[in-house]
Amino acid sequence: MSALLYATGALLFVMSGVAALLPGRPALRLTPLFMVLGAITGLASCALGMTGAARTLALPWLIPGGALTITVDALSAFFATPVFLLAGAGAVFAERYWPLDRRSARHVRAFFGVLTGALVTVLAAANTILFLAAWEVVTIAAFFLVATEHENQASRQSAWLYLAASHVAMLALFAVIGLLHASTESWAFEALPAGIAALPTGRAIFALALFGFGIKSGLMPFHVWLPGAHAAAPAHVSAVMSGVVVKMGIYGFIRVISLFDTVPVAFGTTLLVLGIISSVLGVALALAQHDLKRLLAYHTIENIGIIVSGLGVGLLARAHGASWIAALAFAGALLHVWNHGLFKALLFLSAGSVIHATHTREIDRTGGLARRMPHTALAFLIGAVAICGLPPLNGFVSELLIYLASIGGVNAAGADWSWLLVFGVAPALALTGALALACFVKAFGAIFLGLPRSERAAHANESPVAMRVAMVPLALACAAIGLAPTLLAPILERVTRDAAPGLTSAGLAHMLNGAQSVSIATVVAVAIAFAIVSILASRRSSAPTWDCGYATAAPRAQYTASSLAQSIASVFSWAMPPDVHSPRKLPLFPEKASFGSHVPDPVLDRALLPAIRHAMRLATLARWAQGGRVQFYLVSIGLTLVVLLVWSAL
Q: CA 474 to CA 347: how far, in whole Å?
A: 10
Q: CA separation (Å) from 275 to 241, 333, 448, 619?
A: 20, 11, 32, 36
> Are 131 and 122 a contacting pair, CB within 8 Å?
yes
Provide the sign of the torsion angle of the four alpha carbons 325, 326, 329, 334, taken in this order. negative
What is the chain's Cα-based Rg?
26
**What pTM does this model have?**
0.92
Residue 551: predicted pLDDT: 65
Categorize the per-residue pLDDT at 412 as very low, low, confident or very high, splitting at 50, 70 and 90.
Answer: low
| Eight-state DSSP code of residue 282 | H
Question: Given pLDDT bands bounded at 50, 70 and 90, which one contains residue 419?
Answer: low
Provide the sign of the torsion angle of the four alpha carbons 116, 252, 67, 63, taken in this order: positive
For 37-75, the pLDDT digits (tens) are 999 999 999 999 898 788 888 888 877 777 888 999 999
Q: Is the pLDDT of residue 155 over 70?
A: yes
User: Average pLDDT in the 625-637 region?
Assistant: 80
Higher local confidence (pLDDT), 440 or 29: 440
Q: Which of 197-206, 459-468, 571-580 has the lowest mean pLDDT?
A: 571-580
pLDDT score of 91: 94
Average pLDDT of every residue of the chain:
88
42 neighbors 88 (Cβ within 8 angstroms):
no
Please check the confidence at residue 413 and state whether its pLDDT lies above 60.
Answer: no
Choose between 413 and 592: higher pLDDT.
592
pLDDT given at position 417: 60
Domain boundaries, the chain: 263-534+562-577+597-602, 604-649
Angle between helices 508-539 and 489-499 (to 10 degrees): 140
Residue 211 CA, chain-centre distance (Å), reads: 17
Cβ(115)–Cβ(142) below 8 Å: yes
* pLDDT at site 644: 93
DSSP 600: -
pLDDT number for residue 411: 64
pLDDT more than 70, % of the chain: 94
Calculate mean pLDDT across residues 288-314.
93
User: Tell me: the pLDDT tens digits for 203-259?
Assistant: 999 999 999 999 999 999 999 999 999 999 999 999 999 999 999 999 999 999 999
Burial of 40 (0-12, 13-18, 19+ CB in 10 A): middle
Task: Report, in this order, helix, strand and coil percent for the chain, each rounded to 5.
Answer: 75, 5, 25
Distance of CA 318 to CAs 273, 363, 423, 501, 577, Å? Answer: 17, 44, 20, 10, 39
The answer for residues whose C-beta is within 8 angstroms of residue 427's C-beta and 6 or more apart is none
Higher pLDDT, 473 or 1: 473
Q: What CA–CA distance (Å, rounded) separates 148 from 152?
A: 9
H-state helical runs in 359-464: 369-372, 374-387, 394-412, 418-420, 426-448, 455-458
pLDDT at residue 1, as a whole number: 66
Using CB atoms within 10 Å of the CB of residue 132, give its burial: 0 to 12 exposed, 13 to 18 middle, 19+ buried. middle
pLDDT confidence of residue 116: 95
Task: Tell whether the model's pLDDT for residue 28 goes beyond 90.
Answer: no
Query: What is the DSSP track for 29-81?
Result: HHHHHHHHHHHHHHHHHHHHHHHS--EEEEE---STT--EEEEE-HHHHHHHH
Mean pLDDT, residues 540-566 taken together: 72
Residue 430's CB: how many other CB atoms inside 10 A? 13
Helix (H) or strand (E) holding 269: helix 265-287
Query: For residue range 435-446, what is the model confidence (pLDDT) as tens digits?
Result: 999 999 999 999
Asked if residue 418 has pLDDT above 80, the reply is no
- pLDDT band per the 50, 70, 90 thresholds, residue 628: confident
User: Residue 375: pLDDT above 70?
Assistant: yes
> What's residue 422's pLDDT?
64
| Banded model confidence at residue 424, pLDDT cuts 50, 70, 90 | confident
pLDDT of residue 151: 86
**Tens digits of residue pLDDT in 70-127:** 999 999 999 999 999 999 999 999 999 998 878 888 889 999 999 999 999 999 999 9
Using CA atoms, how far residue 77 sits from 54, 418, 495, in Å, is: 10, 34, 9
**pLDDT value of position 284:** 92
Could you tell me how many residues make up the chain?
A: 650
| In 449-507, alpha helices (H) | 455-458, 465-483, 489-499
